Structures are given as structure tokens and as C-alpha cells.
Amino acid sequence: ARNYNISVIPGDGIGKEVMPEGIRVLERAASLYGFTIAQKWQDFACCDYYVKHGQMMPDDWKDQIGKPDAIFFGAVGWPNTVPDHISLWGSLLQFRREYDQYVNLRPVRLMPGVPCPLVGREPGDIDFWVVRENTEGEYSSVGGKMFPGTDREIVIQETVMTRHGTDRVLRYAFDLAATRTRKHVTSATKSNGIAITMPWWDERVEEMAKNYPTVTHDKYHIDILTAQFVLNPDRFDVVVASNLFGDILSDLGPACTGTIGVAPSGNINPDGTHPSLFEPVHGSAPDIAGKGIANPVGQIWSAAMMLEHLGEAEAAAAIMRAVETVLAEPGLRTGDLKGTANTAQCGRAIAEAL
């Protein structure tokens, strides 16, 4: 019997609205494909919890989460009550580190029915992965201020990269490329400007590449790479990047395919020693929260990524076919894609199309 335990954390804003649709589709997939999904919902890792308790999560959050097979996450952040750097570092970024989810994996794929902002691109033209380092690099909490509050004020923040942390994400990217048709890795760098860490990153890429004779690779400085995402998005297969560069590229990529509203992501611990976490790329979207109009596809596509990760590849593929069917129908997609459906209507349509 294939029985999975998942931890469900809706979070803030539209996270709470799209999560039920993700669950609806998951449950339908389970009943159709003969597995079960046991859910444990959590009310922490959201700003409501912070307002009540003065912190984003209870001290024993790890015990409360236990040992699920995966974590299904909505979106976190509500800047009106809690500054973003507090809400994020106290929840999502903490999961990524403490569960050592060292790969952030995001597809960039042009889907039928999603209006592409780039001239002349068709579904099929754009189909690549961004593999982002997810635990170290530019997202450090090391640094501080000197002469605070005075005219001489100096603020320092350290980027910290390790060979351990860099090599393992590069390995993941090359392994992934080796399974694909084009077998190509593009590395994001900035070794001409960021003159200590990034030349070293380039060296690690060259070292890793030696282990993969069948995989080709190249590198672009991050400035020109963002330009290439717009001008030649069909050129990419697997793009590997540091934490910050990967963050940028995995919002820009989905934007080039129409919207970040449908994009999913996996925060993956490839070693399996900790649970991996699946969440839409979009945030909690305070501007549209509470209206029931958020696009649930990012959450539902994240459910498909989670099932793939759990070994339910068939169910995952079926969800993606259902998503494509529904996106092609203006009456079933949400307003951000010039459709007329609300969140629940779109989610139900995908569950039915399964």
C-alpha cells in the first residue's frame, strides 16, 4: 500500500486560498491512482501566528511537524503586520536550512493558454529548469553595522559559499541535465564584478563538469543572462545558480512564460534525510488576498512536483495534463490569465479533468 504522510502549511494571504485547491487535486489523484495521503495541517509559519505568539513558529516546530514524507506549503508574508525579513527568516528560510533543502528546483515552461509576453513563442519552445542553491551564499545572516545612525554608517553583509554546499547543487544540476535530451548546463556567474566568490564558483563548475563527459556546459554573467532569458529563452536546458541569482532567474523565467501565478517549486533535500517542501513561486499577494480570485495552478503544479518526488510519476503526469486542459479554456482559468473563473472554480475544473 502506498500511503504518504504530508505536512500541510497554508501560511498567509492567498496561501490560505490556493491550498484547499491543491489538496482537492491531491485527494482526487490519490483516489484515482490508488494511494493515500494523510494530512497534518499546521497553523504556524504565518503572520497570524506571529501576532498571537511573537514568533513565526513554536519552539518545538520540528516535533510538531514530525517526520512527514513531504511538506506542502502555501505562501508566507504579511508585511502590514510583520516585516518580510522577519516572517521569511522565521519560517520558509528556516525550513530550507534546518531541513537542508539544498536544491530549489523550478521549471520554466510555456503552457498552452497562458499568454506569453514574448513575441512569437509557442508552447514547447520554452522548457527548462532552474536549479538554485537554497541554503547559503548571498542569503547569510552574517554581518552588521558600524557607526549606526551616523553619517559614517557602514553596513556589511557577507556572502558565504562552501565547497560542500556548492558542489552538491552543481552535482544535482549536472545529474538532472544528464537525464534530459539536450544535456546542457548553463551556469549563472558574475565573476567579472563579484571578484572573490564568483571566480571560485566558476572553478567549481569546471571541476564538476569533468565528471560528466556527455553533458555540455557554458556560463553567462547574471546581467547578460537575464537579457538572454528575454531574447533567447529557447536556448536553455538546465540553469544552475547561487541562491540570489537563482531567486532572480526563477521569477524572471516564469514571467517570460506569462505569469509567476502558475509556477511551482520544490525545496528539495535530495539525500532524503529530511522532508522536502513544495510551494508555488508566487507569494501571499496581499493586494488580491481575501477575494477568492487567486490562481490555484501554482499550488496544484506544486502538488504534481511533490507526487513526482514521492514516486507517483503517473499521477503527477495526469495532474499536468489536467492543468493543460483547463488552462486552454478561458471559462476555467482565473482573471490573471484573462479567464473568468475564480479560485475554487479553477481548482474544481482541474480535479474533474483528472
The yes or no reply on residue 86 touching ligand IPM (CB under 6 A) is no
Please identify, using beta-carbon distances, which residue of 31 and 157 lies nearer to ligand IPM. 157
Strand order in the sheet with 276-280: 35-41, 2-11, 70-75, 276-280, 264-268, 103-109, 127-133, 238-241, 184-189, 216-221
Return the amino acid letter for 75.
A
Residues that bind a copy of itself (CB under 8 A): 77, 83-85, 88-89, 93, 115-119, 138-139, 141, 143-145, 150-164, 190-200, 222-224, 226-228, 230-231, 243-244, 247-248, 250-252, 254-256, 259-260
Residues 87-116 that bind ligand IPM (CB under 6 A): 88
Cβ at position 220, least distance to a copy of itself in Å: 10
Angstrom CA distances, 184 to 43, 181, 236, 240, stand at 42, 9, 8, 11
From the list a copy of itself, ligand IPM, none, which binds 293 (C-beta under 5 to 8 Å, kind-based)? none
- Residue closer to ligand IPM, measured from CB, 178 or 252: 252
Amino acid at 23: I
Residue number, 2 or 163, with CB nearest to a copy of itself: 163
Instruction: Name the grid cell of 327.
Output: 488552462
Q: Which of 97, 108, 49 is nearest to 246 (CA)?
A: 108
Instruction: Compare residues 44 and 212 and give the one whose CB is closer to ligand IPM.
Output: 44
Which residues have C-beta within 8 Å of that of residue 88, sequence separation ≥ 6? 76, 77
CB within 8 A of 175, min separation 6: which ones?
none
Report the DSSP beta bridge partners of residue 278: 72, 266
- Smallest distance from a copy of itself to CB 157, Å: 4
Q: Considering only residues 141 through 200, tell me which ones interact with ligand IPM, judged by CB under 6 A.
A: 192-193
Decide whether 81 or 162 has the Cβ nearer to a copy of itself.
162
* Binding stretches for ligand IPM (CB under 6 A): 88, 192-193, 223, 247
